[in-house]
Amino acid sequence: MEEEYNKQLQKEIQQGIVIEVPSVKVLNRTFLVPRSDGRLRKILDCRMVNSVTMNQKFQMEGVEHLRQLIQPEDFATTLDLRDAYHHVNVHSSLHPYFSFAFRDKMYTYAGLPFGWNRNPYMFTKTLLVCIRQIRKRWKVKITSYIDDILLLHTVKQELQTITKQIAQFLKDLCWRLAPEKCRMIPYQRFKCLDWQWSTATMDVQMPAPRRKIMKTLVKNWIEATKTNAEVNVHSLAHLISE
């Protein structure tokens, strides 16, 4: 586990995401957590910083926005940004607060670390600048949710061409794409925001893995209700979010 952590750290240093520093103000814990694809992700435990950081409320483009955007017979492609938060530079005044230690050396994040509660706001506002430029340059419908970008067009071949151009545009701006997650060939059936969409039938379905999780959560709540068991707020929030 330590070698995997060091491997990821060295990669972050090479990419300029992490830099070595002589001193810090806050020394945060850091460790690896499992990702949905089975790999491990290095994160920073920002609980100390989050406790004194005011949450920034903002509107994100979600399911309802996508429902209004989609038209019958639209084709869709998707682009996925790799290590999304790391693309956004951290101001030098914040460097002392995003620090950590490893093998007797101190480091800090020069790009947003996974774990800070303001990441969604900072990242979305930064990416929005690119989204606006894309809307100006190309005749395509576009929406994004964190690192997932969805493109919609009525003409399949035209969308495929536009998708390649937009992917290159993002690369030219130093955004890193995750090719294995990008869907460059247009389809009328696609997954977005954890829902399965079809523009041919205008149906929206819950994917089987998510449906299975939902059934388990509901079953647990029913059992808890029958036995008058105490449940915490976080478990309720998890159920509602599903």
DSSP codes, 187-220? ESEEEETTEEEETTTTEEE--HHHHHHHHHHHHH
User: Hey, what amino acid is at 14?
Assistant: Q
Between CA 80 and CA 150 the distance in angstroms is 9
- Angle at 208 (CA atoms; ends 205, 213), nearest 5 degrees: 110
DSSP 8-state symbol, 72 = T
Q: List pLDDT tens digits, range 118-177.
A: 999 999 999 999 999 999 999 999 999 989 999 999 999 999 999 999 999 999 999 999
Distances (CA, A) of 200 to 40, 156, 188, 197: 37, 13, 6, 9
Ordered by where they begin, the domains of the chain are: 2-205 (3.30.70.270), 208-241 (no CATH)
Instruction: State the pLDDT at residue 1.
Output: 82
What is the pLDDT of the chain when averaged over all its residues?
88
pTM of the full structure: 0.80
- Report pLDDT digits (tens) over 99-109: 999 999 999 99
Per-residue pLDDT of 170-197, as tens digits, reads 999 999 999 999 999 999 999 888 888 9
How much is the pLDDT for 161?
Answer: 98
